Structure formats: structure tokens, C-alpha cells
Amino acid sequence: MMIKAVLFDLDGVLVDATEWHYEALNKALGLFGYTINRTRHLDFYNGLPTRVKLRELTNEFGLPESLHQFIYEMKQIYTTDYIQRLCRPDFQKQLMFKNLKKVGLKIGVCSNSIRETLELMLKRSDLFESCDVIISNQDVKKNKPHPEMYLTGMAQLGIKPEETLIVEDSPHGIEAAQASGGKVVIVKGVHDVHIGLLEKYLTP
């Protein structure tokens, strides 16, 4: 069946923001003497919503639940600062979106980020106006690795899973994409994501 839409993760796929999230969370945790080492973050925490990360930190390291809200708010402040300073348009991503639109494909972004962060990154990347659907962790009941986010995106676009190409990089995102029934393209990072990568999947 022909592909009618491409759904992208955000962090590590369209925007090289994985490090920003890692640094922002550690900066907030550091106010209370906690930290996540890089290996553990990449192996487990990467791609999870901040509130889920905090719950897991409580289970793993005994982070007091009373600190969750303050750390969450500080993490968002630090993340916004990183985005404002470092997020810039990427010509390869802009070209990819332009070419996808040119051949009549719908474009969606499904991210475990909050909507404010998601929209800010897309606007700073000059990709926001090209998106037909944007799904944040605030738009679903179950975040990745549950497939609800991708299934919601498909439903809003009026397409079937077999008509959908999904581009993902993190283990939780890959699990969600595969569970949705869409055709999944796994990448290692933003530098792998360009129109050349997708062409072989889009050719009838």
C-alpha cells in the first residue's frame, strides 16, 4: 500500500535536542545533589517525558516526590533556554519537508515533549508551518513506548497504519512506532534524516 504520510519523532530525529534535555534535567536535579549519568540516560531515560523520568528516578535513586514539581518546572526553564540559544533551521530538514509536501504527503510530528517545547523547537527550526499534525505528551493519555501518540496522529490525518512511515531513534519511540503498525525507519540521529533516506520507502 502506498505511503500517504510521514510521522517524525522530534528529539534526535528532526532536532538535535537529546543533549539539551539531558543537560537541562541534570542541571535541575543538580540543585538537590542528584544526577543521571550519560550511559544510563541513553540506555533508559532518553525519550521519556520528564514527569516519567522523575518517577523512575524516585524508584531508582530515591528522589523525593516532593521535589518533582519544582524540578519539572526548572527543567522546562532550562530546556527553553537551550532551545532559544541553540535551535536553528537545518537546510536538510527543510528540504526534506518541502519535497514530501511536493509529492502530496502529509507530515506529522509526535513527541514525548510538552506542547510548548515541541512547538518552540519546530518554529525555531522553521518546520512548524509544514506540519499537518502535531502530537505532544499532553495530547494523549499514554506516552511512548505506548503507540497511542502515533495512532492519534494517524487518526487525525485519516490514514491507516500501513499507509504511514514513522521515523524514530530512541528505544521507547521505536517500540511505540512498531506497536502502531506503521512502517518504521530507525535512525541513529538527526544527521541520518534527509530526503534521500526516505525516498526508497516512498517510491511506489
Q: Give the domain ranges of the chain.
A: 5-16+89-202, 18-86
DSSP state at residue 73: H
pLDDT of residue 201: 85
User: Taking the model in full, what pTM does it have?
Assistant: 0.91
What was the pLDDT predicted at 204? Answer: 64
pLDDT at 18: 87
Query: Domain 5-16+89-202 adopts which CATH fold?
Result: Rossmann fold (3.40.50)
pLDDT digit string, tens, across residues 106-129: 999 999 999 999 999 999 999 999
pLDDT of 202 reads 84
pLDDT in tens, 30-65: 999 999 998 998 888 988 899 999 999 999 999 999
Longest dimension (CA), the chain: 55
Whether 109 contacts 96, CB under 8 Å: no
φ, ψ of residue 118 in degrees (nearest 5) = -60, -50
Contact yes or no for 144/176 (Cβ under 8 A): yes
Amino acid 200: pLDDT: 85
Determine the Cα–Cα distance for residues 66 and 89; give it in Å rounded to an integer.
38
Residues 6 or more apart in contact with residue 204 via CB below 8 angstroms: 2
Q: Return averaged pLDDT per consecutive 10 residues of the chain, 204 residues in all.
A: 94 93 95 92 88 94 96 96 96 97 96 95 97 97 96 98 96 96 96 93 76
Q: Which CATH number describes the domain made up of 18-86?
A: 1.10.150
The grid coordinates of residue 66 equal 516532593
For residue 21, give the nearest of 86, 66, 70, 65 by alpha carbon: 86
C-alpha cell at position 166: 514513522
Write down the pLDDT at residue 95: 97
Residue 128's pLDDT is: 98
Within 10 A of 43 (CB to CB), how many other CB atoms are there? 10
